[in-house]
Structure 1
Amino acid sequence: MNELTSTQAYWLGHLFHASSRQLTLSEYAEEQGLELAALLAWEQRLVVQDMPVPPRHRPLRFIAVEVAR
């Protein structure tokens, strides 16, 4: 892997921070005052540049329930 540029490191740092805090990118962007579109664009750009991008936090949309009879 090549050395990161300061811009790559900046955005990668934000992506790792959001992932480690288990925040969705939209929640993280709002909290940090970042443009969600820029965060998403840089995530994609880093993937294309073969950088190790952390997994996104995706909260469960459905909750399993048990029905008592």
Structure 2
Amino acid sequence: MNHQLTSTQAFWLGHLYHAHSLGLSLSAYAHDQGLRFADLMTWRQRLDVQHISLPPMHRPNRFVAVEVRP
């Protein structure tokens, strides 16, 4: 579905794609850019509800493999 984006939608969508292209989590990206994480997530949800194509979220591994030796 084609949408004519408002300047505000384009602003936040640009940030979402930039975070994805850098391979950063949205929280890390927001911190680096001086944005509020809550604002970034709010706009991600708004754009999703409007069926605007979003980049996948980068989710860093939360667990690492360890080897236990007896």
Cα deviation for residue 65 of structure 1 reads 3.6
Tell me if structure 1 keeps the 8 A contact 2:3–2:52: no
Which structure 1 residue ranges, 4+ long, deviate > 2 Å from structure 2? Answer: 64-69
Show CA shifts across 1:33-53 (max 9, x none): 101110000000000000001
Counterpart in 1 of 2:39?
Answer: 38
1:13-28 counterparts in 2 under 5 A?
A: 13-28=14-29
SS at match of 1:64: coil
TM norm structure 2: 0.89
Paired residues, what number?
69
Cα deviation for residue 64 of structure 1 reads 2.5
Show CA shifts across 1:2-25 (max 9, x none): 211111100000000001101111
Q: Percent identity?
A: 59
Unaligned runs of 5+ in 2: none
TM norm structure 1: 0.90
Distance between the aligned counterparts of 2:48 and 2:19, measured in 1?
16
Counterpart in 1 of 2:51?
Answer: 50
Counterpart in 2 of 1:7?
Answer: 8
